Chains A and B, each alone.
Chain A
């Protein structure tokens, strides 16, 4: 029983920290509330889709920014998608850097200079925030798995 209580505390503390540090927002709570006996793996399923989709988008973005003439509308479309999906799972920090990215892309025609290098920097930030939240979520799921394996249940 000690092991279960410890894991539960670890889970609660870790989850709290993710919210406090802004990695996750209220939307993630919404996802958790949609998980029940008939949909026991809902959160993991949605988050897995997010990981797959994000990796695809990051590849597309890298490719788009490597082009001789950058199609900023395409870049914007990808970032818009990324913003949407991160918002849907509550990945707040990813969403924020996506918004900043779009703002930079929109500034493109100031003095006719396309801020390509800034876009590249934005992409690096998105990549970073994404890998951070991916790491955090994978850790979260690992603790949940351990808790269930130890015979405990996830506190609501």
Chain B
């Protein structure tokens, strides 16, 4: 089958513009779920089953840093670091060997430190959550992760992309305490951003702080 040169170039262009998430979880079921959730949120996904594999993928393994040319890898390693683009890392906390916290620390102490890292856990342990947040985690999500949480999480990041996929976002901004505005940002078929505002009386707090889903408010 012949491809026109421009088709390939278009695909590569679109590849670059996709939001790429590196998902780390030792559970196959979790990886399958996360992958589905992320693709449903218009992301490109790479799944690995351990912190070590994640570091390998990012080119951060000690062996890779010492000698790139001879490091063996199961991944098609890009020849240069610049070729690899990861926009977000989502990692499980409890994993055998390297924990999500350890991975977080390694990433934050590396050339990938500006990449947001989201930590997920099935256990609601406040000290664990604050430990991760202090280490620079972007967010701490409780499992099972819901599609709505994920979309809310990705929303600000997807908006930063030069050309982003069709998304339907509803954000609330607090204008004067009583009137609440809802801003709908959608893309029409011509890839034009359509912004519209409407007022609503239903109070919806604007949550910019890390959400601690599932924590009881006493």
Contact = CB atoms under 8 A, between A and B. Distances in A.
Interface of A: 27, 30-31, 33-34, 39, 42, 45-46, 49-50, 53, 77, 80-81, 83-85, 87-89
A53 B30 CA distance: 11
Nearest to A27: B144
B40 to A, nearest CB: 6
Contact of B29 (A33, A53, A80): A53
Contact of A88 (B96, B144, B147): B144
Nearest to A42: B36
Given A39-B36, A42-B36, A85 B29 contact: yes
B147 A46 contact: no
Contacts of B130: none
Contact of A53 (B28, B40, B122, B143): B28
Given A49-B28, A53-B29, A88-B144, 18 more contacts: A30-B146, A30-B147, A33-B147, A34-B36, A34-B147, A39-B36, A45-B32, A46-B32, A46-B33, A49-B29, A53-B28, A77-B96, A81-B27, A87-B122, A87-B144, A88-B30, A88-B143, A89-B29
A110 B37 CA distance: 43
B122 A84 contact: yes
Interface of B: 27-30, 32-33, 36-37, 40, 94, 96, 122, 143-144, 146-147
B69 to A, nearest CB: 38
A51 to B, nearest CB: 10
Contacts of A85: 27, 29-30
Contacts of A33: 147
| Of listed B29, B33, B94, residue having the most chain A CB within 10 A | B29
Query: What are the 8 A-B residue pairs with the smallest beta carbon separation, nearest first?
Result: A88-B144, A84-B122, A85-B29, A49-B29, A34-B36, A27-B144, A88-B29, A49-B28
B188 to A, nearest CB: 22
Nearest to A30: B146
| Of listed B28, B33, B40, B143, residue having the most chain A CB within 10 A | B33
Contacts of B146: 30
Contacts of B32: 45-46, 49
Contacts of A89: 29
Contacts of B94: 80
| Of listed A31, A34, A53, residue having the most chain B CB within 10 A | A34
Contact of B37 (A27, A34, A84): A34
A46 B96 CA distance: 22
A46 B144 contact: no
B124 to A, nearest CB: 12
B39 to A, nearest CB: 9
Contacts of A49: 28-29, 32
A9 B33 CA distance: 29
26 contacts: A27-B144, A33-B147, A34-B33, A34-B37, A34-B40, A39-B36, A46-B29, A46-B32, A49-B28, A49-B32, A50-B29, A53-B27, A53-B29, A77-B96, A80-B94, A81-B27, A83-B122, A84-B30, A87-B122, A87-B143, A87-B144, A88-B27, A88-B29, A88-B33, A88-B144, A89-B29
A81 B36 CA distance: 20
